[in-house]
Amino acid sequence: MHERQETAPVPDITTANTEYGVVNGLLALLGYLVQLLKSIVYGVPEKDVRQKEDVDEDKSSEETVLLGHMCRGVIAVHERRRKRSTALVLSSSRNGERPSALEHAAAAYVFLASETHPRLLGFVTCISPKQTLTNQVHSCLSSGPPIILEHAPLGTVHALLSTTSTYPSLAHTSIPANRSTLALPLSWLLQTSSALRFLHDQKVTHGAISPSSLYLRSDMSIAVADFTKSTINGHNNGIPTRKPQEFAFPVDALRYDYFDGELSANSQALGLAIDAFDFATLAYKLLVRKQPDWELPTGNGTWALEELHEALDEAAPELGDEIVVGYVVRDAWCLVYEEGKTLQEDVVHALLRHGFQVRGDEVLGVREAVRGFAESYTPSWRFEK
């Protein structure tokens, strides 16, 4: 038995078309109003105009200014300026050459890949913005174009030490009055220890921490760069060396197997030890404003790291509380720290013990108090030879 189906009413064609046109007109008007509102609130430019500007910028001529050389003159540091951006460019200092140090630095960036940290100088690109980060750096390794990094507008810490006789006295309620001239370098040390903790967590050791590898942003905070001597997951760029009479990690004291490329565990342990030692030397240079002058043990190429630790413990001087992190510096020289995590924790503990306030990797009050000095400081670019 079938139910009776009612016949659907036939709509009036003229009325339906009219209503449809009105609805469409209202929707179009609403869309236009939304776009207009967006352009007012967010300042969104016309799509075609922006695309044309980007094309023009890509084709614009760039001004390159040589700022200096790093890695003992092998790598040239340039400044690249464009309409809306400025960057640092690392390239070979000799035309047609691809120094292994530059290739190794690029390899460090590709190993870190998408991992980043606010205390590392940002990696912008290596060849083409259309490529993935991994492909960019692989292109660098194969064809040797420069590495392009975030711009550091205030130069290097080494340059500041070379041109400024004293640190600014920073006045702020969060900064102990009797430590006002040490607040800025102490903040750099805290930020450096934070960068080392991150790198060590990623199985990367830096290998060249110094005032020349610390770059200054516009607020006088630091960003670490220069991975030319890094150890990447146990693999380094050749055997570390030390010049005669140079105050640096005594690599010549260790036995040969620490430099065997096949023994990545030894290479990683050595990289961590070098980072700790270099951090202590950096702290001494920043806080005492001179080179360490105590005599390093030799070992004659026969020691293990444990034996070097004992020899350094006998040779390293005791440092008092006048530099706030004195015991951290000595422990780092003596290779007590086997990772960046405990190093950073002890730096924080020392700061808190002397009345500073810390949030994350910032010493509270420094950013605000140093603003006037940062605005008046004339940046300089110098690297240690």
Q: pLDDT digit string (tens) for 191-219?
A: 999 999 999 999 999 999 999 999 999 99
Q: Is the pLDDT of residue 349 over 90?
A: yes
pLDDT of residue 125: 58
Q: Residues 133-152: pLDDT tens digits?
A: 555 545 554 444 588 899 99
Residue 189 CA to its chain's centroid (Å): 14
* Lookup result for tokens 């960036």: 109
pLDDT at 31 (0 to 100): 64
> Which DSSP symbol is given to 121?
P
pLDDT at res. 169? 97
Q: Which pair of tokens denotes residue 192?
A: 């450096």
Parse the chain into domains and list their residue ranges.
Answer: 62-150, 157-376
Residue 369: pLDDT band by 50, 70, 90 thresholds? very high
CATH of domain 157-376: 1.10.510.10
* CA angle 352–358–363, rounded 5-degree value: 110
What single letter denotes the amino acid at residue 101? A
Which pLDDT band holds residue 340 (cuts at 50, 70, 90)?
Answer: very high
Tokens 């009612």 belong to residue? 6
Beta bridge partners of 224: 120, 214
Kindly tell me the burial class for residue 344, based on how many C-beta atoms sit within 10 Å of its own C-beta (0-12, 13-18, 19 or more): buried
Do β-strands 75-81 and 86-92 pair in parallel, antiparallel, or remain unpaired?
Answer: antiparallel
CA distances from 179 to 56, 80, 292, 324, 356 (A): 51, 38, 22, 9, 9
pLDDT at 262: 59
- Residue 327: predicted pLDDT: 97
- pLDDT mean over 96-102: 81
CB 191 within 8 A of CB 221: yes
Question: What residues does 125 pair with on adjacent strands?
Answer: 148
Q: Return the ∠ at Cα 343 (arms to 339 and 348), rounded to 5°.
A: 150
